[in-house]
């Protein structure tokens, strides 16, 4: 993003004391709301969360911020060392600026949501498109009311496609995000139990996910998991063009067969008979994510050979079913960014079938935002942990105690370990002591448990 201060003032209807040409023609080269990551020349966005961003203006100035948004309710502390664009609400102004910039660049927008698989699908779709087009995609987990505008404002001026991931933890969130980006294509990967604490039922989760179509352009496409009845029912009432993917032959794009390996998964698709497609990650469940990407590629007339080649070598966002090697030579399957019962079961099933010389060891942390059903949902994972395939289990978090109690009859005490959420360091030390060079260890939890710290210690 490159814009003059004058252009930004007009775009967001901000007040600015110094209206000299020198100030108005000053160019900013990006936005930042975290002074620890700010680079010289950026516009500082003082957001309010656990801390008030206005309190960090001195750090922003020292870091080289060229200008700052500034809340009208902080006018008594108006900075004088850099231009301050005064607005009623810095977050809303930030969002308004992103909408202006999106309209100015005018890329085609592909918006993706789903209880599982949205990040992998985002990575796959971006890869499928980036041979033919200039593509910007969501970085890391920038998928909410702050992350989506930030993603938009990272676009280069020559961007053809914006592939944007959208998260959701309450009704109305996807409605806002969809209307913000006005997608040309809306993709729903699947409906699971994620965030059921806030919604109560999968039906209500499906209703909330369907909000991604609220901003869909009139001539846009809705691409969704056609094997999910909750989505099929809701899609019937929509006037948009639609494409479905899945395993059933009633879908527009469906897998004919799959072959799951430790580091890659192969499958065939109805569109190209006898053509084997390989993705560089384990898990039959990831085939559906690839099918969604194939549907997008087909929609934009990407040649078959480019789609298959790009899926074979796409860049996966860190900590999503990522194989690493530990300091002892053990193999580590890191899937620590997020977790819910559906995702945990899928990864456990795939991990239990990997070839191994030593032992398979599982580390599971709490799956958050499951509400009153959380203990039962945690305990239900016992059906997916076979003591004949899994040698040892490490569990951490309040609700993982329910799974610990369920597994007691099937594991010897020395092979079943439970830790409170604040015992991450102890778990790490015990696990590191236990692991042997030929072992494989899988780690999965919601991000709030911070199993990435254990991954870091195992690989340091």
Three-state helix/strand/coil letters over 192-260:
CCCCHHHHCCHHHHHHHHHHHHCCCCCCCEEEEECCCHHHHHHHCCCCCEEEEEECCCCCCEEEEEEEE
Measured between alpha carbons, how far is 122 from 145 in angstroms, rounded to an integer? 18
What average pLDDT score do residues 241-246 get? 98
CATH 3.90.190.20 boundaries in the chain: 322-459
Lowest mean pLDDT among 152-161, 331-340, 377-386: 331-340
Residue 65's pLDDT band (boundaries 50, 70, 90)?
very high
Show binding-site residues for ATP.
Answer: 114-120
CATH superfamily of 106-312: Mur-like, catalytic domain (3.40.1190.10)
Burial class of residue 196, CB neighbours in 10 A (0-12, 13-18, 19+): buried
**Gyration radius from the chain CA atoms:** 24
Domain with CATH 3.40.1190.10 in the chain: 106-312
pLDDT at 200: 77
What phi and psi, each to the nearest 5 degrees, are found at residue 22? -60, -45
- Residue 348, number of CB atoms within 10 A of its CB: 21
> Tell me, what's the pLDDT at 345?
92
Place of tokens 């729903």: 188
Q: Which tokens hold the place of 447?
A: 């991000």
Q: What is the mean pLDDT of residues 12-18?
A: 96
Does residue 427 contact residue 394 with C-beta atoms inside 8 Å? yes
Cα 432 to Cα 434: distance, rounded to the nearest angstrom:
5
**What pLDDT score was predicted for residue 195?**
66
pLDDT at 173 over 90: yes
Whether pLDDT at 363 is above 70: yes
Percent of the chain at pLDDT > 70 equals 99
- Bridge partners, residue 393, by sequence: 362, 416
Q: How confident is the model at residue 283 (pLDDT cuts 50, 70, 90)?
A: confident
Contact 218, 251 (CB under 8 A): no
Highest-confidence segment of 49-53, 204-208, 223-227: 223-227
Question: Does domain 3-88 correspond to CATH entry 2.102.10.10?
Answer: no
* Pairwise CA distance, residues 185 & 224, whole Å: 10
User: What is d(CA 259, CA 356) in angstroms, rounded to the nearest whole number?
Assistant: 18
| pLDDT, averaged across the chain | 95
Predicted confidence (pLDDT) per residue in 121-132, tens digit? 999 999 999 989
Give binding residues as ranges. Answer: 114-120
pLDDT digits (tens, 9 = 90+) for 440-457: 999 999 989 999 999 999
Intervals of CATH 3.40.1390.10 along the chain: 3-88
Secondary structure class of 117 (helix, strand, coil) = coil
- DSSP H helices in 359-413: 374-379, 400-407
Q: Let me know: does 370 contact 340? Beta carbons within 8 Å.
A: yes
- Strands 43-44 and 27-28, sheet pairing: unpaired
Residue 43, beta-bridge partner list: 31, 67
Q: What is d(CA 117, CA 209) in angstroms, rounded to the nearest whole number?
A: 14
Instruction: Give pLDDT, residue 13.
Output: 98
Tokens of 386: 């076979």
Question: Is 388 exposed, middle or buried, given 0-12, 13-18 or 19+ CB atoms closer than 10 A?
Answer: exposed
Question: Is 196's pLDDT higher than 90?
Answer: no
Element (H, E) at 129: helix 118-129
Report the pLDDT value the prediction gives residue 197, as an integer from 0 to 100.
67
Burial 311-337 (b: 16+ CB within 10 A, else e): beebebbebbbbeeebeeebbbbbbbb
Angle at 356 between CA 409 and CA 283, to 5 degrees: 85
Is residue 243 over pLDDT 90?
yes
Distances (CA, A) of 90 to 4, 78, 137, 395, 399: 18, 14, 24, 42, 38
pLDDT in tens, 310-353: 999 998 877 678 899 999 999 999 999 889 898 899 999 999 99
Q: How confident is the model at residue 261 (pLDDT cuts 50, 70, 90)?
A: confident
The mean pLDDT of 93-105, rounded to a whole number, is 98
Mean pLDDT on 274-282: 92
Confidence at 41, pLDDT banded by 50, 70, 90: very high
Q: Average the pLDDT over 347-373 and give the result.
A: 93
Question: Count of CB atoms within 10 A of residue 260's CB?
Answer: 18
Distance CA 202, CA 403 (A): 23
CATH of domain 322-459: 3.90.190.20
Query: For residues 395 and 124, what is the distance between their CA atoms, to the nearest angstrom?
Result: 32
Whether the predicted pLDDT of 383 surpasses 90: yes
pLDDT band for position 286 (cuts 50, 70, 90): very high
Tell me what percent of the residues of the chain surpass a pLDDT of 90.
86
Residue 140 banded pLDDT, cuts 50, 70, 90: confident
């Amino acid at each position: 993003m490159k814009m003059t201060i004058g252009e930004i003032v007009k775009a967001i209807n901000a007040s600015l004391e110094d209206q000299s040409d020198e100030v108005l023609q000053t160019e900013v080269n990006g936005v930042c709301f975290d002074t620890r990551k700010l680079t010289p020349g950026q516009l500082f966005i003082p957001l309010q969360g656990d801390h008030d961003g206005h309190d960090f203006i001195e750090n922003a100035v020292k870091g080289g911020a060229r200008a700052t948004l500034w809340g009208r309710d902080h006018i008594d502390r108006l900075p004088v060392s850099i231009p301050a664009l005064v607005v009623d609400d810095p977050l809303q102004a930030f969002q308004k600026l992103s909408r202006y910039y999106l309209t100015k660049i005018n890329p085609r927008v592909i918006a993706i949501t789903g209880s599982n698989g949205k990040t992998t699908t985002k990575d796959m779709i971006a890869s499928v498109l980036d041979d033919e087009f200039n593509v910007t995609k969501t970085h890391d987990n920038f998928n909410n009311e702050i992350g989506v505008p930030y993603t938009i404002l990272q676009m280069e001026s020559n961007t053809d496609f914006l592939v944007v991931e959208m998260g959701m933890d309450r009704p109305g969130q996807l409605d806002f995000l969809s209307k913000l980006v006005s997608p040309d294509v809306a993709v729903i990967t699947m409906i699971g139990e994620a965030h059921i604490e806030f919604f109560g039922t999968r039906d209500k989760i499906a209703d909330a996910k369907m909000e991604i179509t609220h901003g869909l352009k009139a001539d846009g496409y809705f691409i969704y998991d056609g094997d999910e009845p909750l989505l099929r029912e809701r899609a019937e009432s929509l006037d948009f063009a639609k494409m479905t993917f899945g395993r059933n032959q009633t879908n527009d794009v469906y897998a004919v067969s799959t072959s799951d390996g430790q580091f890659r998964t192969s499958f065939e698709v109805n569109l190209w008979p006898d053509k084997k497609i390989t993705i560089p990650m384990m898990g039959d469940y990831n085939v559906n994510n690839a099918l969604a990407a194939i549907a997008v590629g087909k929609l934009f007339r990407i040649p078959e050979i480019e789609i298959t080649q790009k899926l074979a070598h796409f860049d996966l966002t860190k900590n999503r079913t990522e194989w690493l090697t530990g300091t002892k030579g053990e193999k580590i399957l890191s899937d620590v960014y997020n977790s819910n019962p559906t995702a945990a079961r899928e990864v456990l099933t795939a991990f239990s079938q990997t070839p191994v010389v030593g032992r398979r060891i599982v580390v599971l942390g709490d799956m958050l935002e499951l509400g009153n059903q959380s203990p039962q949902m945690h305990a239900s994972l016992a059906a997916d942990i076979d003591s004949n395939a899994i040698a040892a289990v490490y569990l951490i978090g309040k609700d993982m105690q329910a799974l610990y109690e369920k597994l007691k009859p099937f594991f010897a005490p020395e092979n079943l370990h439970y830790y409170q959420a604040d015992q991450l360091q102890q778990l790490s030390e015990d696990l590191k002591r236990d692991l042997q060079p030929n072992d494989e260890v899988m780690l999965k939890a919601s991000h709030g448990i911070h199993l990435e710290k254990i991954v870091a210690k195992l690989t340091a």
